[in-house]
């Protein structure tokens, strides 16, 4: 067994960055599996998601973190604390930045936090498909003067460009040692958590600007029937006001049906079985400012 893992490397990698820079899309590309939710709205990710990537001579354990920003609301403060807490317990830090739409305030805030850590840091400049090469080179040159990154790798997470180059740059920075997880492991998150995240993603994608930030999703039941050929799920979408409940349900239930249909298809791909998904919408007034509710909803 020991010989099998001679010269093997394994370790933990935190993926951090401002909201909406493509962290979850990058993780899903490296995984080759969808485990982290994505949308065009910022702050989609609220919990750290662990994803495991297996290679012939290495194993990466990725932690996808929520977008780091200067937070004021209790929910957002907890989200940012979750992201920052990942930095001290990993072997490599990946800082993701949107080269097409820089968030200079958040970027400065993140770089300031890097002064407190000793781990190697790789800067990933995402969305290179949206900028000119000359502009990209100028941005890369500027960042070399700001912080001593181990490497600066330009990528397009949505197109999958330069992903292999990024992984190749990270591999030598991992500590030597055997893998932490068996080869068939892709995440340590339970299926019911990922199912809730997939439902929340559809709320993000299919509703207006204010709705997603006022929603949480809990799974009230998750059971297998017919020897695993059918999975029955009851889930609740929690909102803060009655008007938001109406927006999520839609006329004659049309919006809720759309959310449920799209979420069910993704959950079926994850569990490899038919899924019966029933959604409920409940009003929990101002839950995002209620510390008890935040704990109950997993924040």
Tens of pLDDT, residue by residue over 47-99, are 555 788 888 899 998 887 766 645 555 555 555 565 566 566 789 999 899 99
Q: What is the pLDDT of residue 40?
A: 47
Which CATH code fits 191-296? Answer: 3.30.300.20
Average pLDDT, integer, range 14-19: 82
Residue 140's pLDDT band, with cuts at 50, 70 and 90, is: very high
Residue 42 reports pLDDT greater than 50: no
Average pLDDT, integer, range 207-216: 66
Tens of pLDDT, residue by residue over 259-282, are 999 999 888 877 778 899 999 999
Mean pLDDT for all residues in the chain:
80
Residue 241 reports pLDDT greater than 90: no
Residue 39's pLDDT band, with cuts at 50, 70 and 90, is: very low
pTM strictly above 0.85: no
Radius of gyration of the chain (CA): 20
Q: Residue length, the chain?
A: 299
CB 43 within 8 A of CB 214: no
Q: What is the pLDDT of residue 271?
A: 74
* CATH architecture of the region 3-173: 3-Layer(aba) Sandwich (3.40)
Most confident of 19-23, 154-158, 220-224, 238-242: 154-158
Q: What is the pLDDT of residue 43?
A: 44
Of 87, 45, 99, 90, whose CA–CA distance to 67 is shortest?
45
- What ranges do the domains of the chain cover? 3-173, 191-296
Q: What is the pLDDT of residue 244?
A: 85
User: Which tokens in the block code for residue 178?
Assistant: 């055997």
Q: What is the pLDDT of residue 110?
A: 78
Q: Which of 13-22, 100-109, 258-267, 287-296 has the lowest mean pLDDT?
A: 287-296
β pairing state of 58-64 and 151-154: unpaired
Q: What is the pLDDT of residue 45?
A: 43
Residue percentage of the chain with pLDDT more than 90: 30
Q: What is the pLDDT of residue 9?
A: 94
Residue 257 reports pLDDT greater than 80: yes
| Fold: same for 3-173 and 191-296 | no
Average pLDDT, integer, range 201-215: 71
């Amino acid at each position: 067994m020991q010989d099998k893992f001679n010269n093997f490397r394994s370790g933990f990698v935190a993926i951090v960055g401002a909201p909406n820079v493509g962290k979850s899309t990058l993780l899903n590309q490296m995984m080759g599996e969808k485990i982290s939710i994505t949308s065009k709205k910022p702050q989609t990710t609220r919990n750290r998601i662990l994803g495991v990537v297996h290679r012939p001579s290495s194993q990466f354990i990725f932690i996808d973190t929520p977008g780091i920003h200067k937070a004021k609301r209790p929910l957002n403060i907890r989200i940012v604390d979750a992201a920052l807490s990942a930095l001290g317990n990993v072997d490599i830090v990946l800082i993701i930045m949107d080269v097409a739409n820089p968030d200079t305030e958040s970027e400065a805030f993140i770089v300031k936090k890097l002064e407190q850590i000793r781990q190697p840091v790789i800067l990933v400049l995402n969305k290179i498909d949206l900028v000119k090469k000359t502009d990209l080179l100028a941005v890369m040159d500027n960042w070399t003067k700001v912080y001593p990154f181990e490497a600066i790798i330009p990528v397009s997470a949505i197109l999958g460009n330069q992903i292999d180059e990024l992984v190749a740059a990270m591999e030598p920075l991992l500590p030597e040692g055997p893998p932490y997880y068996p080869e068939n492991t892709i995440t340590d998150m339970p299926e019911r958590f990922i199912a809730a995240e997939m439902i929340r993603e559809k709320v993000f994608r299919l509703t207006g600007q204010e709705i997603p930030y006022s929603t949480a999703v809990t799974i009230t039941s998750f059971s297998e029937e017919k020897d695993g050929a059918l999975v029955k799920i009851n889930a609740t979408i929690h909102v803060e006001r009655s008007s938001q409940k109406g927006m999520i349900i839609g006329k004659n239930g049309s919006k809720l049906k759309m959310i449920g249909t799209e979420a069910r298809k993704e959950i079926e791909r994850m569990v490899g079985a038919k899924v019966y998904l029933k959604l409920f919408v409940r009003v929990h007034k101002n839950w995002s400012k209620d510390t008890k509710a935040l704990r109950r909803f997993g924040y």
